[in-house]
């Protein structure tokens, strides 16, 4: 390996190490130029989030707690069943059932009715509408509704403190005036001490909905949950756009639930008392008749004291009679119940309980029958009788009624059998007292009947007293643990989530666009892109030229781009060394990369240094030098090579630059590549070197044709043009191959058309901090460009200042 090859390998490794070390810095400065767009996008999307929050209808959450107490507590194994029966306890409470009751349509309909929620008042603003509760500008008094299933809905525009318009009608109405519209009759009454100025606008929307619809709207916002399985406390919450409405709904719901529980218990007690009172009236009349008959019998037959005559037998008969009396009392109660159940006018009435019949199966049937009657009564308020639910309940009630009748008949049969057995015993005793006077026996029968009626009467009076006490002391099994309360902060819209979401969008969308743009970018976009793909040294950078003139380097020019060419001239001395008449070849990958522009201005900058310079237009396929300088074409290189012109005839002087000449290409031949192999080319180059101190060869693109390769033998160094945003990145790999394999002499790169937005190096590796494409040097006051930029306005100055800071 030669010394030069060793140096190239070392430089390559050193460059890769520097590139790796500068990677994070390069990445940072490369994407800092997008920071303004990220900030603008972030602010824009945060503004969108603010608009969404500003014009979204807020939703508030109100919460409360309700304790459901159990009637029977399991603290003791020995329960006072008489006490529990006295107060009509109904056993352990099922919280799931209570939750369904609280959410049921009948209960919520009662809440809506109590709060007047069938009527809604909405104040319409420019963007959003607000629910007015509890107080509006006016109140709606409905006289008649044309369609009670559809309700009514009107737009009210208040034009003054006492007048308004309805919908789009131009007729003005007065508050307090009865209005008939669309078959509806109603009146709007102005609320005292409420001014229109306290509302967001003069447009209101009033609506009346059926009670069932109002209950459904409440059901949508109501949530009931059980905090844990062991607790008997229910957590109630309600979500609404009006916090005051939510509090009233929950408080009223708990009050309605409390009232319903008491009403159900009192209804059972009232039906039982009614039954007992009816039976007491019948027994009172019958007992008076028996007592009168006994009195008449004793007076007529003079029977006052026969105990001494039949004491021995009557003791036994009395014991048997006592047992028989209890059985007959129960039979009488069974008859009363059979008669009550069979009466059609009691078909939807509750069956009395606690009348002394201790048959478990019968008591269970009666309890189930009363529960279904209450449930049917609750549903029939909002559901027609033809509804399958009501029909099913009626069928179940009929079935239970038949079962109760059968159970009562079975109980009566059992009591009858027991009574018959007792009768047989009494007949045996009567046989023993046949010697007693017949009058005594008649008197005994009368007294026995009287005893039965008195016992039954006493039993009913006792039950009446018990049920009256129970009704008077009825309390609800619920208790408000925590009244409805809510925070003043709405749960929706969630500001934190919305701002976070829009902030993420504001950052992700431009980041995605930038990433996609970078992913699809297949052209050289910066010096870093070139250094990543090749170790070829970079001679310098040329900025973007705004003018149409291809010659930008002229005498006394202080433009930034002119200074860049001058610094490249200085850097070029390190490549050409001490050569007296250097030949500089300029080429590129393909057309359009600024090869002719660089050749023209490199020739000019060399000529301005006092050295006689010639630019040879060797791009004979697509020449641009002469046309770019607006020169008249003469004989050219092709004319010389075919022997049609002499050397002196080729030279074209550039008048604007002293010491600068151009040798045109001449007519475009059909075989350019073969023509450049002509031996006369050596003679031409010999004469050029004799007459000029610097020779610039503007050749055809090396990536397209072989012209530059054929001319390499004449060149001392090669300026390879890479244009930002034009040269493909994969073509830079080809340059690396040319450099490593030394296919072109003294190969170095010249970065052309470098824009300010990509020059984040602030000067590159040559002349750092002074010249590099609009880096630190730009705006320093050293260049004519700075004077021109001051005239561009404040905004452009701020933009350039930003790029000077961040690239």
Range from 21-25, 188-192, 708-712, 726-730 that averages highest in pLDDT: 188-192
Strands 694-698 and 613-617, bridge-based pairing: parallel
The pLDDT of residue 791? 45
> By mean pLDDT, which of 190-194, 297-301, 356-360, 770-774 is the weakest?
770-774
pLDDT of 385 higher than 80: no
Instruction: Identify which of 121-135, 392-406, 500-514, 542-556 has the greatest average pLDDT.
Output: 500-514
Range(s) of the chain covered by CATH 3.40.50.300: 531-543+559-778
SS3 357: coil
| Cα 299 from Cα 302, distance rounded (Å) | 5
717 falls in which pLDDT band (50, 70, 90)? very high
Q: Distances in Å between the alpha carbon of 284 and those of 163, 336, 445, 721, 748? A: 70, 15, 19, 129, 132
State the virtual CA torsion across 176, 180, 186, 190 in degrees, nearest 10.
-30
Give the pLDDT confidence of 477-487 residue by residue, as tens digits.
788 888 988 87
* Cβ pair 107, 256 in contact under 8 A: yes
3-state secondary structure 317-353: HHHHHHHHHHHHHHHHHHHHHHHHHHCHHHCCCCCCC
The H or E element containing residue 361 is helix 360-379
Lowest mean pLDDT among 16-30, 633-647, 707-721, 765-779: 765-779
Identity of the highest mean pLDDT range in 254-268, 354-368, 708-722? 708-722
**pLDDT tens for each residue of 192-201:** 888 888 888 8
- pLDDT of 313 reads 60
* pLDDT bracket for residue 73 (50, 70, 90): very low
**Binning pLDDT at 50, 70 and 90, where does residue 772 land?**
very low
The token duo for 121 is 């008042």
Residue 187 scores a pLDDT above 50: yes
Average pLDDT over residues 468-476: 70
pLDDT score for 500: 92
Top mean-pLDDT range of 73-87, 418-432, 561-575: 561-575
What share of the chain in percent tops pLDDT 70? 82
Q: Where is average pLDDT lowest: 23-32, 195-204, 504-513?
A: 23-32
Question: Worst-scoring range by mean pLDDT, 19-23, 333-337, 463-467, 504-508?
Answer: 19-23
- What band does 62 get if pLDDT is binned at 50, 70 and 90? very high
What would the two tokens of residue 328 be?
């007959």
Tell me: pLDDT of 768 over 50: no
Q: Decide: 693 and 613 in contact? Cβ < 8 Å.
A: yes
**Percent of the chain scoring above 90 in pLDDT:** 12
Tell me the residue ranges of DSSP E strands in 42-177: 60-68, 119-124, 129-131, 138-144, 152-158, 163-166, 172-174
Q: Averaged over 410-414, what is the pLDDT?
A: 82
Question: Can you tell me the distance from the alpha carbon of 603 to that of 33, in angstroms, rounded to the nearest whole number?
Answer: 35
pLDDT score at 198 = 83
**Per-residue pLDDT at 12 exceeds 70:** no
308 falls in which pLDDT band (50, 70, 90)? low
What is the spatial order of strands in the sheet that 478-486 belongs to? Answer: 222-225, 233-240, 60-68, 478-486
Distance set, CA 512 to CA 44, 515, 807 (Å): 16, 5, 21
pLDDT at 759 over 70: no
Say how far apart CA 554 and CA 551 lie, in whole Å. 7
Range in 19-28, 89-98, 342-351, 528-537 the model is least confident about = 19-28
pLDDT score of 784: 58
CA distance 653 to 675: 25
Higher pLDDT, 651 or 287: 651
Residue 302 structure tokens: 């003079």
Q: What pLDDT does residue 763 have?
A: 37
pLDDT score at 372: 84
Pick the CATH number of 531-543+559-778 from 1.10.3720.10, 3.90.1170.40, 3.40.50.300, 3.40.366.10: 3.40.50.300
Residue 781 has pLDDT above 60, yes or no: no
Give the per-residue pLDDT at 431. Answer: 62
At 589 the pLDDT is: 83
In this predicted model, which residue has the larger pLDDT, 532 or 91? 532
Q: Which residue has the higher pLDDT, 301 or 67?
A: 67
More confident residue, 93 or 495: 495
What's the pLDDT at 416? 87
Q: How far is CA 22 from CA 540, 615, 703, 804, in A?
A: 19, 39, 31, 20
Q: Is the pLDDT of residue 24 over 80?
A: no
> Integer distance in angstroms from the first to the last C-alpha of the chain?
41
Find which of 706-720, 758-772, 785-799 is predicted with most confidence, using mean pLDDT: 706-720
Q: Higher model confidence: residue 7 or residue 377?
A: 377
pLDDT surpasses 90 at 204: yes
- The burial class, CB within 10 Å (0-12 / 13-18 / 19+), for 524 is buried
pLDDT for residue 695: 93
Q: In the predicted model, what is the mean pLDDT of residues 118-126?
A: 87
pLDDT in tens, 640-663: 888 888 888 888 898 888 999 999
Report the mean per-residue pLDDT for the chain.
78
| Residue 38, helix vs strand vs coil | helix
pLDDT at 804 over 60: no
pLDDT tens track for 661-705: 999 988 888 887 788 888 888 888 899 999 999 999 998 888 777
> What Rg, from alpha-carbon coordinates, does the chain have?
56
pLDDT attached to residue 660: 92
């Amino acid at each position: 390996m030669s010394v030069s090859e060793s140096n190239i390998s070392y430089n390559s490794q050193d460059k890769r190490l520097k590139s790796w070390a500068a990677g994070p810095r390069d990445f940072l400065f490369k994407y800092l130029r997008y920071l303004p767009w990220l900030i603008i996008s972030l602010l824009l999307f945060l503004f969108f989030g603010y608009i969404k929050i500003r014009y979204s209808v807020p939703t508030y959450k109100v919460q409360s707690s309700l304790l459901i107490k159990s009637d029977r507590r399991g603290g003791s194994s020995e329960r006072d069943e008489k006490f529990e029966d006295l107060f009509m306890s109904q056993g352990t409470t099922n919280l799931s059932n209570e939750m369904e009751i609280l959410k049921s349509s009948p209960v919520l309909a009662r809440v809506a009715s109590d709060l007047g929620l069938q009527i809604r008042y909405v104040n319409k603003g420019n963007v959003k509408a607000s629910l007015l509760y509890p107080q509006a500008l006016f109140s709606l008094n409905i006289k008649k509704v044309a369609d009670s299933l559809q309700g009514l809905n009107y737009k009210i525009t208040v034009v003054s403190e006492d007048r308004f318009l309805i919908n789009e009608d131009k007729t003005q109405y007065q508050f307090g005036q009865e209005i008939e519209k669309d078959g509806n009759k109603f009146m709007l009454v102005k609320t005292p001490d409420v001014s229109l100025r306290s509302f967001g606008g003069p447009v209101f929307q009033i609506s009346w909905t059926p009670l069932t619809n109002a209950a459904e709207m409440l059901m949508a916002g109501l949530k009931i949950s059980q905090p844990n399985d062991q607790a008997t406390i229910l957590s109630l919450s309600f979500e609404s756009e009006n916090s005051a409405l939510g509090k009233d709904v929950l408080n009223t719901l708990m009050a309605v639930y409390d009232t319903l529980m008491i009403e159900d218990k009192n209804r059972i007690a009232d039906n039982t008392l009614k039954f007992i009172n009816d039976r007491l009236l019948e027994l009172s009349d019958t007992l008076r008749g028996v007592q009168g008959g006994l009195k008449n019998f004793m007076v007529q037959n003079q029977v006052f004291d026969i105990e001494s005559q039949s004491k021995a037998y009557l003791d036994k008969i009395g014991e048997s009679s006592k047992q028989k009396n209890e059985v007959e009392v129960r039979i009488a109660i069974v008859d009363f119940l059979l008669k009550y159940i069979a009466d059609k006018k009691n078909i939807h009435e509750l069956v009395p309980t606690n009348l002394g019949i201790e048959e478990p199966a019968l008591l269970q049937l009666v309890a189930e029958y009363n529960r279904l009657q209450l449930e049917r009564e609750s549903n029939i308020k909002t559901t027609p009788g033809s509804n399958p639910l009501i029909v099913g309940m009626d069928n179940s009630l009929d079935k239970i009624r038949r079962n109760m009748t059968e159970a009562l008949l079975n109980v009566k049969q059992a009591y009858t059998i027991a009574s018959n057995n007792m009768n047989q015993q009494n007949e045996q005793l009567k046989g023993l007292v046949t010697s007693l006077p017949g009058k005594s026996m008649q008197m005994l029968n009368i007294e026995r009947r009287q005893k039965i009626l008195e016992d039954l009467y006493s039993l009913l009076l006792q039950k009446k007293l018990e049920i009256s006490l129970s009704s008077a002391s009825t309390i609800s099994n619920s208790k408000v643990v925590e009244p409805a309360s809510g925070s003043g902060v709405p749960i929706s819209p969630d500001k934190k989530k919305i701002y976070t979401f829009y902030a993420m969008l504001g950052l992700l969308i431009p980041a995605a666009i930038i990433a996609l743009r970078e992913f699809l970018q297949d052209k050289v976009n910066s010096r870093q892109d070139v250094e990543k793909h090749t170790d070829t040294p970079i001679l310098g950078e040329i900025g973007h030229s705004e003018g149409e003139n291809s010659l930008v380097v002229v005498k006394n020019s202080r433009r930034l781009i002119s200074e860049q060419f001058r610094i490249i001239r200085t850097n070029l001395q390190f490549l050409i060394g001490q050569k007296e008449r250097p030949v500089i070849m300029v080429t590129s990958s393909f057309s359009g990369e600024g090869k002719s522009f660089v050749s023209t201005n490199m020739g000019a900058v060399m000529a301005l240094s006092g050295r006689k310079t010639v630019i040879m237009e060797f791009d004979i396929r697509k020449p641009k030098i002469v046309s770019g300088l607006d020169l008249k074409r003469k004989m050219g290189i092709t004319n010389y090579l075919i022997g049609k012109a002499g050397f002196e005839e080729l030279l074209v002087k550039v008048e604007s630059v002293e010491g600068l000449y151009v040798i045109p290409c001449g007519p475009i031949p059909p075989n350019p590549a073969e023509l450049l192999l002509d031996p006369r080319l050596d003679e031409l180059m010999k004469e050029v070197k004799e007459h000029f101190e610097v020779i610039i060869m503007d050749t055809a693109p090396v990536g397209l044709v072989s012209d530059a390769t054929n001319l390499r033998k004449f060149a001392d160094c090669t300026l390879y043009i890479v244009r930002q945003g034009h040269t493909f990145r994969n073509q830079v790999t080809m340059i690396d191959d040319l450099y490593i394999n030394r296919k072109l002499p003294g190969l170095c790169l010249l970065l052309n058309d470098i824009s300010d937005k990509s020059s984040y190096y602030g000067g590159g590796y040559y002349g750092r901090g002074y010249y590099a494409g609009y880096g630190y040097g730009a705006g320093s006051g050293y260049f004519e460009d700075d004077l021109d930029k001051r005239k561009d306005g404040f905004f452009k100055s701020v933009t350039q200042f930003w790029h000077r800071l961040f690239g």
